[in-house]
Structure 1
Amino acid sequence: MDRLLAYDSEGKGQKTVVLLHGFCENRTMWRHLVPVLTAQYRVVNIDLGGFGQSAHLLPPVVTMDTLAAQVLALLQSLNVHTCTVLGHSLGGYVALAMAAQHPTLLEGLGLVHSSALPDSAPRQAIRNRIVSIVRQRGVTPFAHHFVQALFLAERLPELAEAINEAKTMALHTPQKSLIEVTLAMRERPDRSELLQQLSCPVLFLIGKQDPAIPMSQYLPQIVLPKDAHIHLLDHTAHMGTWERPQKTSAILQHFVHYCQTGKVL
């Protein structure tokens, strides 16, 4: 693969943390977390294929595996042989695909509002409706409705700045990326068995009011890893990095520390 994903590499620690953003986002979504981690770790913050400064690098065939292969190629070029991976939503799906392809890579896996389960039939129907809307009307109407729905409804006024930031990212997503990645998420496989096989710690950071991944979907998953870390954020939907930036950053910092030392902060 001769064209590598756009990324930032900050910090000079011996251990590496890899950050993978969510759907219709880019690597700037981690701006609250990066400064927290760089004092101790090397942080590789990546724009996934089709998004941000990697918008032109959408794989010819888009699956979670091909998106993961792009990340793995970048990490290989950076001589990253082990790391903790934190992924928001789509980023978590890609991180799971990375673990399936390269199981010895991960020292820790953080699923931030993300899931190892495949889409349910109702969720697949929502994906189909999104694709239909974007094909007919473009990115703009989708971005305005989709993004706001991922934030807790009762907190919309206080989160207006964060919502606008997330909307701006979505509005800059190419139509082809939005459609192809939506279809890829719809078809992603069940990774539950992988959760059982992983030897590294696994974090589930869950929004209690998440409309995209309800609590009922997490219950069968959180018992699967050998070393599971479960954090529930109340009054939080799907966008904890914006809805609870300080709390989310603290949870992720503590998890990374545990993955690297085996000790709790």
Structure 2
Amino acid sequence: MRVDLGAAALEVEDHGEGVPVILLHGFPLSSAIWTPVRTAVEQVARLVTPDLRGFGASAKPAAGYAIADLADDVVRLADALKLDRFVLGGHSMGGYVALEVAAAHPERLAGLVLIDTRAEADAPEGRRRRDAGIARIVAGDAAGFLDEFVAGLVGPSSATRAPRVVAELRAIAAEAAPDALAGCLAGMRDRPDRRDLLAAVNVPALVVVGQEDSLTPPASSRALASALPRATLVEIPSAGHTPSMERPIPTAEAILGFLRAHYPAPPAALRPRAPR
């Protein structure tokens, strides 16, 4: 369905019953990365998966790609769906957005799911890589940038065992607007360090990481989980940076286990589903 937020209209999948769970995709992808785990998660939750602005089938404005802008979209989406509190999850860049929501609107979170992401800001070398990507996209080579970037998303096991995953990721990434690609690279480059926030995130949290992730290595996720007061860490074997695509069954099991442990029935404090 289409949800008009004013600044941007988002394409959103909203299905299932139970605790509201909003899952945010990473860069440069779309909500399609949740397709392999969607049916399982919808058994126990109301699963909301938007295409962030500029990606997938959502509107593609020329500007508004700072992490804070994307976080504002998420809160406006929750308001439009009449969700007072919800479990918020994010993959990679989506995790940066989730942490921004946690910083700006902690009262809205009933839980946090962080998949192959980190709390620390980019190091100087990371910022230089973002700048190089922006320059390449602005010069008209978005396709070449995506081709190389997507190849690094999967782990070596997936590249050998399931090369179709790379093809699927390329097709998803091809839907992204060049403005969104360049804008989000700048937004990620400029995002603040959120490590000081973590100790105050007093809701159940799940940290998931692919054991073969070279972009967000498992050591980073272990540190993230250790810093969150109520976190569970799950490492997915034979997966790189996109475990929901590479190893959907263990990824779904991790999310299901977390939701069943902490939200066996919709908490009374959460607003029930509004008629649609």
Alpha-carbon distance change, 123 to 252 in structure 1, aligned in 2, over 3 angstroms:
same
Alpha-carbon distance change, 120 to 162 in structure 1, aligned in 2, over 3 angstroms:
same
Q: Between Structure 1 and Structure 2, how many residues are aligned?
A: 260
Q: 1:196 and 2:179 equivalent? A: no
Q: Which amino acid aligns with 2:53?
A: G
Greater RCO structure (CA 8 Å; 6+ sep): 2
**Counterpart selection for 2:55 from 51, 56, 75:** 51
Q: 1:212 and 2:198 equivalent? A: no
Q: What displacement does 1:80 show?
A: 0.5
Aligned 1:86-235 pairs, distance under 5 A: 86-235=89-238
Secondary structure of 1:213's counterpart equals: coil
Q: What displacement does 1:155 show?
A: 3.4
CA contact (8 A) 1:107 1:259 kept: no
Percent identity, please: 27
**Counterpart selection for 1:82 from 74, 82, 85:** 85
Which deviates more, 147-156 or 86-95? 147-156
Alpha-carbon distance change, 149 to 4 in structure 1, aligned in 2, over 3 angstroms:
same
Alpha-carbon distance change, 49 to 200 in structure 1, aligned in 2, over 3 angstroms:
same
RMSD across aligned positions (CA): 1.7
User: Could you tell me the TM-score, scaled by structure 2's length?
Assistant: 0.88
- CA distance in structure 1 between the partners assigned to 2:135 and 2:147 by the alignment: 16
User: Could you tell me the TM-score, scaled by structure 1's length?
Assistant: 0.92
Instruction: Name the residue aligned to 1:27.
Output: 31
Runs of 4+ with deviation above 4 angstroms: none
Alpha-carbon distance change, 226 to 261 in structure 1, aligned in 2, over 3 angstroms:
farther
Cα distance per residue 1:179-231 (max 9 Å; x no partner) = 01001001111111221101101211112221111234334322211111111
Alpha-carbon distance change, 108 to 138 in structure 1, aligned in 2, over 3 angstroms:
same
**Counterpart selection for 1:36 from 33, 40, 54:** 40
Q: What displacement does 1:63 show?
A: 1.3
Instruction: Name the residue aligned to 2:272.
Output: none
- CA distance in structure 1 between the partners assigned to 2:217 and 2:124 by the alignment: 14
Secondary structure of 1:162's counterpart equals: helix
Runs (5+) with no aligned partner, structure 2: 266-276
